[in-house]
Chain A
Amino acid sequence: MTGIPLVSIMVGAPFAAAVLLLMVPDRVRLLVRLVAFAGAATALAASIAVATGYDLEAGGVQLVENYPLVPSIGVSLRLGVDGWAVSLVLLTGIIIVTGVLASWTLENRAKEFFVFLLTLVAGVFGVFVSQDLFIFFLFYEIAVLPMYLLIGIWGSSHKITEAGPFRFVWKLFDIGGREYAAMKLTLMLLIGSAFILVVILAMYVAAGSQSFDFAVLGRTQYSRGMQLWAFPLLWLGFGSLGGVFPFHTWSPDGHASAPTAVSMLHAGVLMKLGAFGVLRIGVMMMPQGALAWAPLVGTIAVVNIVYGALSAMSQSDLKYIVAYSSVSHMGVVMLGIATLTPEGWNGAVYQMFAHGIMTGLFFALVGLVYERAHTRAVPKMGGFARAMPGAAVFFTIAALSSLGLPGTAGFVAEFLVFVGAWQSAHPWWVVPGLLGAFITAVYVLRAARAIFWGPGPSEEFHLTDARRTEWGALVALGSALILFGCWPALVLDFIDRTTPAYLGSVLASYSPPRHTPPRLVSSIAPSLRP
């Protein structure tokens, strides 16, 4: 073990860059960008170092660092990574670097923008590596709160038609406005946080009020009664960030209003915090509660998959299409969690990874198209492939991963989740899951055709293809999708190193699914009928 505190560097680098940025004059825009990029790149490098430094043979939580913070109540800055965290910090590193690249040309208050963005990312890294529940929650809030300012200041507004039984709310709220979107997102997530906080305090007390250490809290046997009420609170609390139906409605408005890099980070990694929280805290700390509630969790997850996909199909605003597709794909993550099978869990974490990159690519492209065409209305577009072939290629790659085409990371994740779902107690989950995958194919290719194919583009758009830094973002994300689709073991080995032990602790009576080696019938069948 080297003496370099890799994990702290990873969490600290974006934060340090944010602090440094405060001292950089706003006018020197290149310096602002370079400092932001340096912070992001250091974090990515550190996350790669963490991955290479993680000993796959040994497994477990590694690279542990422990700095006592408030010893009197047992709070310490305890950081460390397990296999899941390795994959998710890699994702975060990739997304923040490409996110900075994609917002390179941002003009309006660039310094403050990057300060908030980097603070947010530091929080995200912190959540994934926390081994102390107090710190975990602290980082969780650090990751969520800057979003309010990022959307409220740099976001965009759009018009939502006044209709429906609740049309009177339009009098009070500017629905579709960026302040509205920012406020809705923050409030819904904070209410979720309140649920989580209640359970955290209950756990702390039940564990003897000595420590917030994951290991201590994980060892504690909580009463079944407590688990039965605590798990749903954690599920909904974290789930509201993970896009769980019906608490997902902040996400389409939030993503649609957010600027490019924020959408990338938010859909790419922030929503994963929610799912990660459900899995790491909810399911693992409250195993009996999770077992009892799993049928509902999985059922809501398949609702997410199908409902999100159908809603995406009905949208004509490109950002809303991608945003709803996130709602649908996060359903796959939640479904994987609810299966309580090794394949399902591997698939859930892998889907977090795959969807993060895929949706990052999507939002980068949406920003790119919007910046040139000045519209996000898909029906107004058409034939863009001729003017921006690069964007068309990468949009197609993202679309293919989204619909789960083999060779892209999305396939591996969906395949694992559906294998897990069939082996779970509720095999019927596979049917709506597959249906959702098909609906995804319908709406993403429909969008790809409407934007990039057909005659055009019209002269009014002045389209140009991606520029230098944008190319960097697109190529990095697109090739990652293909690389991790063709060679999933690169990341999946880390995930799989952690899953069995964690799942085993949840299922006290864990036994692997039937694995009888198949007998060969005959090497080939010369005749099908006797």
Chain B
Amino acid sequence: MELASLGNPVDSALVALLVPLGAALCIAILSPLRRRGKLAGWLSVLAALVALAASSLLLFRWQGGLGPELFELRWLPRAGGTLARVGVRVDGISVVMLTVVTLVATCVQVFSLGYMSGEPGPALGRYFAYHSLFIFSMSLLVLAPNLLVFLIGWELVGLTSYLLIGFYYQKPSAARAAVKAFWTTKFADMGLFAAVVLLFAWTGDFSWEVPLSPQQASLITLLLFLAVMGKSAQFPLHVWLPDAMEGPTPVSALLHAATMVAAGVYLIVRTGPLFSQAPDTLTLMAYLGSFTALFAAVIAVVQTDIKRVLAYSTCSQLGYMVAGLGAGSVMSGFFHLTTHAAFKALLFLAAGSVIHAVGSNELGDMGGLARRMRLTTTVFVIGALALAGVPLFAGFFSKDFILETVFNQKLWLPLGALLLSGFLTAFYMGRVIALAFFGTPSSKAEHAHESGPTMALPLIALAFLSVAVGWLGPRMAEMIQADYAFHLTPVGAAATLLALGGLFFAWLVYARRAVPSSVLAWFAPIGEVARSGALDRLYGFAFRRVVLGVAALAGWFDRYIVDGLMNFIAWLAIVTGQRLRRIQTGNVLDYVYAVVAGAALLIAWGMVR
């Protein structure tokens, strides 16, 4: 069927973009709607469904090989002409990403209807307004026709992230986490802002499809990568992501696992033409990404909060994506982004289902849930297997392609780090499964039971995707015009063995308790370091002592030196006036003396001349 017969692709994209915005505005402005939270929720879900339908239409009707479809409006004038435009760009990359976003968002919103049902009406309305705003902002970013619009969407998703992390704003830890997330990402966003400014100064436009000199390309891509490090939680700017788990669990699933944190990876994919001109940046990405993958995986092993395990796992997987992109393959990073979106959203929602049932995030409060929550257990295991990279599940294919790419580029150190973190990934997921779903139930877990259909349906849908998306690689490669084929390579085989080994080892340690504690004691120092949160404390110290210290100094300087000087000048004027006033004694003789003295001086002066 012809594209034209189904309407303009730009129209579909605009529908996907603007309907959630409309829903957000309606909920925000119409206060009766907002107060009746359930109604707002259904409106928000409806908007997400419309967006999903529009993007599915694009996905199924989009024929690879068509050029990008652009729709742009003049936004900023400059000397009578145009400085910047806003609009949408529909091409393979944006359509794939848009589908991922709307699909996961719809699942998460439906899940939220059940998960958040205990909230009071106005709070629920606020929640769904933020959610719809997020879908709009994310779609804006995804469909951006130029880097400026990308920046706008990028900052807006940061805003919604801030608002949603701080959803329970009366909880001090949530308030702190929200602000910390905003500051950290805003710091990194300065890189994107600067890159946009530089790009404009050098090319007169905001397009990423421009040739640059090697130095220019390096600088711009490094600045872009700084932004990626913040948003996609790469070491050392990952510190906000674990704390972001203070938000409601569906938020963690949508923003802080599947889509928003992947925006950084998407930025690299999107601006591929720039990054392909900067091999040094790519190499840096390969090393930093693989280090993050390993570093976060180690920390994930020692976490006792199920959401924090998953949060560190997200950091680690984003590290994989960045490493894959650094190795030069757009497809590898982007493919892992899509599969990860499916299974990590699934894992978070399943964890949410567990938390909803148990009333706690702590693994210690769970245990033995397999018998009480069959569906949740099943889907969680599917998600875990996909994450661990067990063959036939989605994560296997995408991770395998990343490893293959890194191997082909002969990046041995990153390859080793990625393989090792693959083992750790399987190990920590095995640990979570063993601790949460098997073993003896804690007192809190004894009365756990499944929740209603609004929570079950999204889990089933995402579980299906966690298997299916892995097989869609060739189709996706065709859409983004990249090369992809699945090969069985020695690296892939090694990774598979490591993954299975990790699961087995976790089973030995946590389910069978078969490993002697003396062996486990060898790893205790690593655990200590991983638990210490040294980086967090360093940043905290730097903020409190250095930043606030300098600020206090500036405040003091302004009040007592700069303003003090102004006061001193005024003081001087008054004091001088008071002194001079004494000349006016009112005694006539004094004035006569003065006149005489003055006359004498004048005469003397005349004689000397």
* Chain-B contact segment, one of A46-54, A63-71, A262-270, A438-446: A438-446
Q: Which of B515-565 contact A (CB under 8 A)?
A: 547-548, 550-556, 558-565
Least Cβ distance of A90 to chain B in Å? 17
Task: Kindly state whether residue A488 has any CB partner on chain B within 8 Å.
Answer: yes
In the complex, what residues of A have CB within 8 A of residue B555's CB? 310-311, 313-315
Q: Is the C-beta of A3 less than 8 angstroms from some C-beta in chain B?
A: no
Asked if A407 is an interface residue, CB under 8 A from chain B, the answer is: yes
Given contacts A307-B558, A407-B152, A525-B272, are A422 and B201 in contact (CB under 8 A)? Answer: yes
Known: A430-B197, A512-B79. 19 other contacts (CB 8 A): A166-B571, A187-B570, A246-B565, A307-B554, A313-B548, A313-B555, A315-B555, A412-B76, A415-B193, A437-B190, A442-B547, A496-B77, A520-B209, A523-B68, A525-B273, A526-B483, A527-B276, A529-B328, A529-B329
Of B166-174, B459-467, B498-506, B582-590, which stretch is located at the interface?
B166-174
Which chain A residues lie closer than 8 Å to B575 at the CB level?
172
- List chain B residues, Cβ under 8 A from A435: 190
**Do A438 and B574 contact each other (CB < 8 Å), given the known contacts A311-B558, A419-B200, A521-B273?**
no
CB contacts (< 8 Å) of A442 on chain B: these are: 183, 547
Determine whether B262 belongs to the interface, using a CB cutoff of 8 Å to chain A: no
B117 within 8 A of A: no
From the candidates B275, B331, B551, B561, name the one contacting A526 in the complex (CB within 8 A).
Answer: B331
10 pairs from A and B in contact (CB 8 Å cutoff): A164-B559, A165-B560, A249-B562, A385-B169, A415-B196, A442-B547, A449-B175, A525-B330, A526-B483, A529-B409
Q: Is B45 an interface residue (CB 8 A)?
A: no
B595: interface (CB < 8 Å):
no
B373 contacts the other chain (Cβ, under 8 Å)?
Answer: no
Q: In the complex, what residues of B have CB within 8 A of residue A403's CB?
A: 186
Contacts of A508 in B (CB 8 A): none
Q: Which residue of the partner chain A has the closest CB to B74?
A: A489
Chain A residue contacts of B571, Cβ below 8 A: 166, 168-169, 172-173
A169 touches B170 (CB 8 A): no
Highest count of chain A CB atoms <10 Å: which of B68, B152, B563, B570: B563
Is B203 interfacial (CB-CB < 8 Å)? yes
Taking the closest CB of chain A, its distance from the CB of B328, in whole angstroms, is: 3
By a CB distance below 8 angstroms, the chain B residues around A307 are 554, 558
Closest to B326 in A: A528
Let me know if A23 is at the binding interface, CB within 8 A.
no
Tell me, in angstroms, the Cα distance from A500 to B79 when the chains sit together.
6
Interface 9-mer from A37-45, A202-210, A362-370, A452-460: A452-460
Chain A neighbourhood of B197, CB < 8 A: 415, 418-419, 422, 430
Residues on the B chain within 8 Å of A515, using CB = 204
B220 within 8 A of A: no
Question: Known contacts being A453-B166, A518-B205, A529-B282, is A311 close to B554, with CB within 8 Å?
Answer: yes
Closest to B555 in A: A314
Question: Could you tell me the distance in whole angstroms from the C-beta of A165 to the nearest C-beta in chain B?
Answer: 7
Min CB distance B330 to A, Å, is 6
**Contacts A343-B83, A438-B187, A454-B170 given; does A489 touch B567 at CB 8 Å:** no
Report yes or no: B76 in contact with A488, Cβ–Cβ below 8 A: yes
Contact A496 B80 (CB under 8 A): yes
Contact B568 A524 (CB under 8 A): no
User: Is there an interface contact between A524 and B481, defined as CB atoms closer than 8 Å?
Assistant: yes
The dominant DSSP class at the B interface is helix
Known: A166-B567, A449-B179. A416 touches B156 (CB 8 A): no
Is the interface on chain B under 10, 10 to 19, 20 to 34, or 35 or more residues?
35 or more
What residues on B are CB-neighbors of A25 within 8 Å? none
3 closest cross-chain pairs (CB), A and B: A529-B328, A164-B560, A314-B555
In A115-173, the 8 Å CB interface with B consists of: 160, 163-166, 168-169, 172-173
Q: How far is the CB of A167 from chain B (nearest CB, A)?
A: 8
**Which residues of B have CB within 8 Å of A246?**
562, 565
Q: Is the CB of A524 within 8 A of B183?
A: no
Partner pick for B554 among A314, A386, A405, A522, CB 8 A cutoff: A314
Complex contact B551–A314 (CB within 8 A): yes
- The CA of A524 and the CA of B567, in the complex, are separated in Å by 63
Tell whether, in the assembled complex, residue A160 and residue B559 are in contact, meaning their CB atoms are under 8 Å apart.
yes
Q: In the complex, how many residues of chain A place their beta carbon closer than 8 angstroms to a beta carbon of chain B? A: 87
With A493-B77, A528-B272 in contact, is A249–B574 under 8 Å at CB? Answer: no
* Contact in complex: B78, A346 (CB < 8 Å): yes
List CB contacts (< 8 Å) of A406-442 with chain B.
406-407, 411-412, 415-416, 418-419, 422-423, 427, 430, 434-435, 437-439, 441-442
Contact A524 B554 (CB under 8 A): no
Q: Are A310 and B551 in contact (CB under 8 A)?
A: yes
8 Å CB interface, A369-420 against B: 383, 385-386, 400, 403, 405-407, 411-412, 415-416, 418-419
A377 to chain B, nearest CB (A): 15
Give the distance to chain B from A259, nearest Cβ to Cβ, in Å.
Answer: 22
Q: Let me know if B594 is at the binding interface, CB within 8 A.
A: no
By a beta-carbon cutoff of 8 Å, the part of chain A in contact with chain B is 160, 163-166, 168-169, 172-173, 175, 184, 187-188, 245-246, 249, 252-253, 307, 310-311, 313-315, 342-343, 346, 383, 385-386, 400, 403, 405-407, 411-412, 415-416, 418-419, 422-423, 427, 430, 434-435, 437-439, 441-443, 445-446, 449, 452-456, 488-489, 492-493, 496-497, 499-500, 512-529
Q: Is B327 among interface residues, defined by CB-CB distance under 8 A?
A: yes
Q: Which has the most chain A C-beta neighbours within 10 Å: B178, B201, B330?
A: B201
How far is it, in angstroms, between the C-alpha of A418 and the C-alpha of B197 when the chains are bound?
7
A231 to chain B minimum Cβ distance, whole angstroms, is 23
- Give the distance to chain A from B286, nearest Cβ to Cβ, in Å: 10
Asked if B400 is at the interface (CB within 8 A of a chain A CB), the reply is: no
Select one of A187, A313, A422, A492 contacting B551, CB under 8 A. Answer: A313
Are the C-beta atoms of B201 and A513 separated by less than 8 Å?
yes
- For A184, A406, A439, the residue with the greatest tally of chain B CB atoms inside 10 Å of its CB is A406
Bound-state Cα–Cα, A492 to B75, Å? 10
Known: A406-B156, A526-B483. A454 touches B559 (CB 8 A): no
- Assess whether B597 is interfacial by the CB under 8 Å rule: no
Roughly how many angstroms separate A315 CA and B558 CA in the complex, as a whole number? 11
B10 within 8 A of A: no
A445, A489, A519: the one within 8 Å of B182 (CB): A445
Please indicate the chain A residues that have their CB under 8 angstroms from the CB of B547 in the complex.
313, 442
**What residues on B are CB-neighbors of A443 within 8 Å?**
551
What is the minimal beta-carbon distance from A484 to any residue of chain B, in angstroms? 12
Cβ-neighbour of A173 out of B156, B325, B560, B570 (below 8 A): B570
Q: In the bound complex, what is the Cα–Cα distance between A116 and B133 (angstroms)?
A: 44
Q: Residue-by-residue, is B376-404 near A (CB-CB < 8 Å gives 1, otherwise 0)?
A: 00000000000000000000000000000
Q: A188-B566, A519-B211 are in contact. Are A489 and B76 (CB under 8 A)?
A: yes
B67 at the interface (CB under 8 A from A): yes
Taking a contact as CB atoms under 8 Å apart, the answer to whether A406 and B169 are in contact is no
Query: How long is the Cα–Cα vector from A455 to B173 in the complex, in angstroms?
Result: 11
- Complex CA gap A342/B68 in Å reads 32
Give A153 to B207 CA distance when docked, in angstroms. Answer: 56
A164 touches B564 (CB 8 A): yes
